[in-house]
A and B are shown apart, each in its own frame.
Chain A
C-alpha cells in the first residue's frame, strides 16, 4: 500500500452456507476498524457489486481476497479464476475453500444421483413432470443458461493457486482478527501457510484429561452424557481432536461435544480421515480379531465421520463414480 491508500479487500462465497460471512460480521465493533482501513471492492453477500465490476478491474487490483466456499459449479470455478487474476493475495477462507467441508460430502454421490434425490425423490418434492436442472433451455425470448453442476466438489486449491489458508467451519472471529491484523500490518507469512490456526492439534487446547484408552463400544453424541473431566475419546465418543488442527480453542469439547474436525488435518497429516481412523483404531480394547471387527463394525458411516470436513481434499477425493461413459 502506498501512503494512506486503503487496503483493497474482496470477499466472495462459492458453494458455502454463509457461515463464514457471519463469522466476519461477528468481529462486531472491529468491523469498523476494517471499514476505516479497507475499501471493500466486492462482497456479494453484503454489498451490491456485480461480476462485471470485478471483470472491469485491472489485474491484481484487489489487495486481498477472502474466498469462502467450495467449487461446486462452473460459476464457482469461473469466479475462482477471475478473483485469482484480479487479486494480489488469494486466501482460501474457511473449511469449504480449504478442504471442501460439508458440501464436499456430496462427493459420495454424483450429479445424477444428487439431482434425482433433490428434484425427484425427496418426500417434500412436488415435481410431476420430473424436471431437473438443464444448463441450457430454449425459451421464446431466447436461450437461458445456468452454470454446470459438477459431479465432484473441489477445493479452491484444486482449481487455483492459493496464497493462504484460513481453516475452520467457520473460522473463529478471534482468529480472523489475527489474520486481518497481520494483513493490515503487512506481516504475512510465507506463501502456502495455514494462518489463523495453531501448529498443534485440538487436543492441545482441550480441557479434558487423557488417560489409558480402552474402548469396548463407541457411542454417538446422542447416546451418552459424558463425564466432563475425562477425555471424550476415552469414554467411547469418536472425537476428531487428535487428527485436527488446533486454533478454534476446542470450542466443541468445552461443552462436551466431540470435535468434528472442522479445522482440517493436523499439521503434517496428508489425510485427515486416515489419521482419525488410526486414532479410533488405537483406542479399541480388543485382543482378538473377532472382537475388534465387532467393535469397529458398529461405527456408522465411516467416511462421514472421519472426513466430515475434508473429503474433497482427501487422498481419494470422492467415492468411485458408477460405470464410466
Chain B
C-alpha cells in the first residue's frame, strides 16, 4: 500500500447527546467527509474508559477520536464531561510515553448543533493521521523480534 492510497482506520467514541448527534446530522446533511471514522456511540464521554482507547490502538486503529458535550453546561448528565477532561489529559500523557504520536489521538467537544465542525474534524484528522502513516501496533510488536 503506498502513502497516497493508505486509508487510516480511525475509531471515534462519541457521546450520544452531542457529538453523535452532530455526526448524524453531518451524515443526513450530506456534508463532505471521508469514510475513515468508525463511530462507537456511548451514552456519555465520561463513560469512555481509557482502556477503550488503548484497545483500539492495540487492535489496529491508526487514530482515535473522543468527543462529547461542551463543558461546563452542555452535558446531559450535568458533569459527565468533567470526568472526560480530568481523564483525557492523563491518557494523552500515557500515549506519548507509549510512543504513540499525539496527532493520532484527538479529544474535544462538539455539540449537537455543530455538524459542520464534526465534518471538518473528520476531514482534518483523517489527513493528519494519513500523513503519519499506519500505526499497526500488532506488527509493531512482532517486528524486530527474533
Contacts and interface: CB of A to CB of B under 8 A. Distances in A.
Interface of A: 74, 108, 110, 148, 150-152, 269-271, 273-275, 277-278, 280-282, 284, 286-289, 292-293, 296-297, 299, 301-303, 306, 314-321, 324-325
A320 B98 contact: yes
Interface of B: 49-51, 54-55, 57-58, 71-72, 82-83, 85-87, 89-91, 93-94, 97-100, 137, 140-141, 143-146
Nearest to A111: B144
Contact of B83 (A282, A302, A303, A306): A282
A292 to B, nearest CB: 5
Contacts of B49: 274, 278
A302 B94 contact: yes
Contacts of B140: 320-321, 324
A265 to B, nearest CB: 10
Contact of B55 (A108, A299, A315, A317): A315
Nearest to A149: B146
A281 B71 CA distance: 16
Contacts, number: 100
B87 A277 contact: yes
A243 B85 CA distance: 20
A289 to B, nearest CB: 5
Nearest to B54: A315
B141 A277 contact: no
Contact of B86 (A151, A282, A303): A282
Given A320-B100, A321-B143, A287 B91 contact: no
Contacts of B97: 108, 301-303, 319
Nearest to A305: B94
Contact of B144 (A284, A314, A317, A321): A321
B145 A302 contact: no
Contacts of A315: 51, 54-55, 57-58
A316 B144 contact: no
A148 B51 CA distance: 32
Nearest to A320: B99
B24 to A, nearest CB: 26
A306 B98 CA distance: 13
A160 to B, nearest CB: 16
A299 B51 contact: no
A299 B93 contact: yes
Given A150-B146, A269-B51, A302-B94, 15 more contacts: A108-B97, A274-B54, A281-B87, A284-B86, A286-B85, A286-B86, A287-B72, A292-B86, A297-B93, A315-B54, A316-B137, A320-B100, A321-B140, A324-B144, A325-B144
